[in-house]
């Protein structure tokens, strides 16, 4: 199979970027699924009619972005959202002494609605398009700490329902992969202070008006497509939001 790289790239575009785009397209279309090994660099270089060094640079960049994972002696695999990856890449709430713990998750609400203007803008869909909305309560050491209010486009998650969410044994992002073939590649979080209204206070077992941290997240898949809008309300009496940035960020 050959899939030669187009030579019609704009001036200054590196060839490896075109190879990266081709690999990403194969991932997006499901040619190589989460957890599967991709072809060797030698085979990819033949497929794209480029040097092995060019392929390696593209793969290096996708590995740095956690889209691919290298296993020494076994090959390069498509990243899947198992507990380990979710815990260290996407779950940022830790105890104030630094202790990290995977949360116990309870589904407390599920609904189907029409997207309002803010939701539609965040998810790149039309106002009035159908969305799935669900709320999870996350507990750490038996104490409710986080409320996740999550909204996803119904058109992308046709088989996602209350039962699959309640009965899942995997992370939410692994469920997205299994149910809809959608991989979360990156997330953009914005953090601000808020207060608990009566409903949130009851679920988090705090007084109404209690200070909370609000984390607003938009999760993106391939081609930077937004696939999830999440509002996380965090009781920071004993916990905090912690992110470790690796590499050149600026």
112-158 pLDDT, tens digit per residue, is: 999 999 999 999 999 999 999 999 999 999 999 999 999 999 999 99
Alpha helices in 65-105 (DSSP H): 83-89
pLDDT average, residue stretch 237-245: 87
Residue 43 shares a structural domain with residue 122: no
- The answer to the question of residue 234 being in a domain is yes
Cα angle 124, 25, 31; round to 5: 120
Dihedral sign for Cα atoms in the order 62, 65, 70, 75: negative
| ∠ CA 181-186-189, rounded to 5° | 125
Q: Is residue 88 part of a domain?
A: no
Kindly state whether residues 38 and 159 are assigned to the same domain.
Answer: no
SS3 category, 174: helix
114-121: Cβ within 8 A, 24+ apart:
115/151, 115/153, 119/151, 119/229
Asked if residue 248 belongs to a domain, the reply is: no
* Helix then strand then coil, % of the chain, to nearest 5: 30, 30, 40
Residues 6+ apart with CB under 8 A from 112: 130, 131, 132, 133, 154
DSSP per-residue letters across 231-245: EEEE--SSEEE----
Phi-psi category of residue 150: left, alpha or beta, with phi > 0 → left and psi -120 to 50 → alpha = beta
* Higher-pLDDT residue of 137, 74: 137
pLDDT at 240: 95
Q: Does residue 121 or residue 73 have the better pLDDT? A: 121
pLDDT over 80 at 30, yes or no: no
Which residue segment(s) compose the domain that 43 sits in? 15-78
Total domains in the chain come to 2
Whether residue 143 is found in the same domain as residue 177: yes
86: in domain: no
CATH number at residue 54: 1.10.10.10
**pLDDT higher than 90, residue 28:** no
DSSP 3-state of 213: strand
Average pLDDT, rounded, for the chain: 87
For residue 6, the model assigns a pLDDT of 53
- What CATH number is associated with residue 200? 3.40.1410.10
Burial of 237-246, coded b for 16+ CB within 10 Å and e otherwise, reads eebeeeeeee
The residue-averaged pLDDT of 221-233 equals 94
pTM score of the predicted model: 0.77
Q: Is residue 250 part of a domain?
A: no
Output the pLDDT for position 93.
Answer: 93
Rounded Cα distance, 216 and 173, in Å: 17
């Amino acid at each position: 199979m050959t899939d030669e790289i187009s030579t019609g790239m704009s001036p200054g575009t590196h060839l490896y970027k075109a190879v990266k785009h081709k690999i990403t397209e194969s991932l997006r279309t499901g040619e190589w699924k989460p957890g599967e090994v991709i072809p060797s660099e030698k085979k990819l270089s033949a497929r794209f009619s480029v040097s092995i060094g060019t392929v390696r640079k593209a793969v290096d960049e996708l590995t740095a972005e956690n889209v691919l994972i290298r296993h020494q002696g076994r090959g390069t695999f498509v990243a899947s959202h198992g507990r380990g990856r979710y815990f260290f890449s996407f779950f940022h709430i830790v105890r104030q002494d630094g202790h990290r713990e995977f949360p116990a998750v309870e589904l407390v609400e599920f609904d189907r609605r029409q997207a309002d203007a803010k939701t539609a803008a965040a998810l790149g869909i039309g106002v009035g398009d159908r969305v799935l909305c669900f709320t999870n309560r996350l507990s750490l050491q038996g104490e409710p700490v986080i409320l996740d209010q999550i909204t996803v486009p119904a058109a992308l998650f046709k088989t996602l329902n209350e039962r699959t969410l309640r009965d899942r044994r995997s992370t939410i992002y692994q469920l997205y992969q299994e149910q809809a073939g959608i991989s979360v590649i990156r997330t953009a979080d914005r953090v601000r202070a808020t207060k608990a209204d009566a409903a949130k206070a009851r679920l988090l077992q705090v007084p109404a008006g209690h200070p909370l941290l609000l984390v607003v997240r938009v999760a993106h898949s391939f081609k930077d497509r937004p696939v999830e809008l999440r509002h996380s309300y965090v009781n920071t009496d004993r916990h905090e939001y912690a992110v470790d940035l690796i590499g050149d960020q600026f």
